[in-house]
């Protein structure tokens, strides 16, 4: 069937992704076709009443000697809804101990990511974007999901995958993600927490008096509780620290309650992740315990918690900090997950954090979620550096000129003064430098604003090489994580 299909479509300059051809039943096949740099779904049918909107051909084309006919359609949301009735292509909730989120800011490389993810015993979260990323890329939740779906089809992937509405802070984006059919909701409560760093002891006592009796009961019941790390080690929950945790998080957790009730009213299944990793405050054991116990006693079922670990998790580069200190704190955080049960730890800004992957896997006993996002975007930049040096140079100067604006959305420690005005080395080697990676990592918004067409043109023209870079990068992450040599 593939050879006959390719022969039929070749005169129309339509490329068929060979791995995408999927037999649904004796009278129905689907595939992915590329027309003018746009990926579409193809339907091959025989005696089937299946109708999608906006066909490429005004009449179905006959595949000679087969009795089948074919047409091609855009994967818009309307056609996606119809496609779900034919095959179970929609995202699902997580069903494995390990999940790994990739994200695809450009909507081009899901299949390249999956080519590696499918080789590991993990649950892939493919559509992973935050409102901040949607604004900067001028996309929406539906578009991100559809591009992931086309990638799933393109590579012929038939297992489950998830879709993460990342860093949800308000009801507007929550409802958009629900409407698009996302399965994971990462709730960022950083805007709702109380800041206590500069408060006096008297001010903290006054704040404590104002918290609810519900929170006070948790403190009174669990202060002094011992949490076992190992047969030889344990730690004790401090009364004073639990009081501070309640002050910091109580109001913020009402947002989680609200979202949970909305999700329960709209969806049969969903995964919630609670993110407390933003801001300057490292998550104390008491913070972790209070947040989890509060939610559990409210009857809120969440699947993962993202604490803020010591050290710095800056974008596009390895972990910065004392690894031993990180490991010691991770042991406490993981001990709490075992004591409280029902959820996993999540590592945010997890891309390129190779130096802590092995210990993270070992300490959590292979039970976690890791978020990566911008690392695949950097592989797109690498592709441009190799195949369009002039465009790469333009992007570099645009990124430099807009560095201060880009830094407003991301925590990085780079300054314009540390970058050369002229690049006097190989661009690929230049791009390996940590500060250069960070520069491009945070600059995707302005670069797409000014050079979107040129960026997509080069990446589409060199799709095979772009895919190879992305797959090699994801494989490097997973080899490190799964302790492969």
Catalytic residues: 166, 273
Spatial CA neighbour of 125 closest among 376, 321, 325, 372: 372
**Burial class of residue 453, CB neighbours in 10 A (0-12, 13-18, 19+):** exposed
Distance CA 339, CA 353 (A): 27
369 is in an annotated binding site: no
Cβ pair 364, 309 in contact under 8 A: no
Paired strand residues for 271:
184
Distance CA 226, CA 212 (A): 24
Spatial CA neighbour of 481 closest among 378, 367, 354: 354
315 is in an annotated binding site: yes
167 is in an annotated binding site: yes
**Burial class of residue 341, CB neighbours in 10 A (0-12, 13-18, 19+):** exposed
Cβ pair 412, 315 in contact under 8 A: yes
In this structure, the strands spanning 162-168 and 184-188 are parallel
Calculate the CA 389 to chain-centre distance: 29
Residue recorded with tokens 């899901």: 110
Angle between helices 463-481 and 375-387 (to 10 degrees): 140
Distance CA 388, CA 365 (A): 44
Spatial CA neighbour of 126 closest among 138, 139, 140, 111: 111
Rg of the chain in Å (alpha carbons): 24
Which parts are annotated binding residues? 167, 315, 348
> Which residues belong to the annotated binding site for a divalent metal cation?
167, 315, 348
């Amino acid at each position: 069937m593939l050879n006959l299909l390719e022969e039929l479509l070749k005169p129309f300059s339509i490329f068929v992704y060979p791995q995408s051809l999927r037999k649904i039943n004796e009278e129905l096949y689907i595939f992915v076709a590329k027309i003018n740099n746009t990926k579409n779904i193809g339907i091959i049918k025989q005696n089937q009443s299946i109708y999608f909107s906006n066909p490429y051909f005004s009449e179905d084309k006959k595949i000679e000697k087969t009795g089948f006919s074919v047409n091609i359609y855009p994967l818009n949301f309307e056609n996606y809804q119809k496609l779900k009735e034919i095959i179970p292509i929609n995202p699902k909730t997580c069903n494995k101990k390990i999940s790994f989120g990739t994200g695809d800011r450009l909507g081009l490389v899901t299949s390249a990511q999956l080519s590696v993810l499918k080789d590991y015993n993990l649950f892939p979260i493919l559509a992973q974007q935050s409102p901040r990323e949607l604004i900067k890329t001028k996309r929406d939740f539906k578009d991100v999901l559809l591009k992931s779906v086309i990638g799933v089809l393109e590579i012929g992937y038939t297992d489950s995958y998830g879709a993460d509405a990342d860093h949800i802070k308000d009801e507007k984006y929550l409802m958009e993600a629900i409407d698009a059919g996302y399965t994971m909701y990462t709730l960022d409560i950083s805007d709702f927490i109380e800041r206590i760093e500069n408060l006096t002891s008297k001010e903290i006592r006054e704040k404590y008096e104002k918290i609810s009796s519900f929170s006070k009961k948790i403190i009174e019941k669990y202060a002094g509780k011992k949490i076992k790390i190992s047969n030889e080690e344990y730690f004790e929950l401090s009364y004073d620290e639990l009081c501070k945790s309640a002050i910091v998080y109580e109001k913020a957790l009402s947002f989680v309650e609200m979202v949970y009730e909305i999700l329960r009213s709209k969806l049969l299944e969903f995964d919630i992740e609670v993110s407390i990793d933003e801001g300057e405050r490292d998550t104390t054991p008491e913070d972790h315990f209070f947040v989890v116990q509060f939610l559990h006693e409210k009857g809120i079922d969440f699947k993962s918690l993202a604490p803020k670990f010591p050290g710095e998790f800056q974008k596009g580069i390895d972990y910065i900090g004392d690894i031993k200190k990180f490991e010691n704190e991770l042991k406490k955080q993981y001990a709490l997950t075992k004591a409280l049960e029902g959820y996993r730890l999540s590592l945010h800004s997890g891309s390129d954090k190779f130096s802590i992957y092995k210990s993270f896997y070992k300490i959590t006993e292979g039970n976690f979620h890791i978020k990566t996002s911008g690392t695949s975007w950097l592989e797109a930049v690498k592709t441009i550096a190799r195949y369009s040096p002039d465009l790469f140079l333009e992007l570099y100067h645009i990124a430099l000129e807009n560095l201060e604006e880009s830094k407003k959305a991301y925590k990085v420690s780079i300054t314009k003064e540390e970058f050369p005005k002229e690049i006097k080395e190989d661009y690929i080697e230049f791009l390996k430098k940590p500060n250069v990676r960070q520069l491009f990592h945070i600059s995707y918004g302005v670069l797409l604003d000014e050079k979107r067409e040129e960026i997509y043109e080069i990446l589409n023209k060199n799709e095979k090489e772009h895919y190879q870079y992305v797959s090699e990068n994801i494989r490097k992450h997973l080899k490190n994580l799964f302790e492969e040599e």
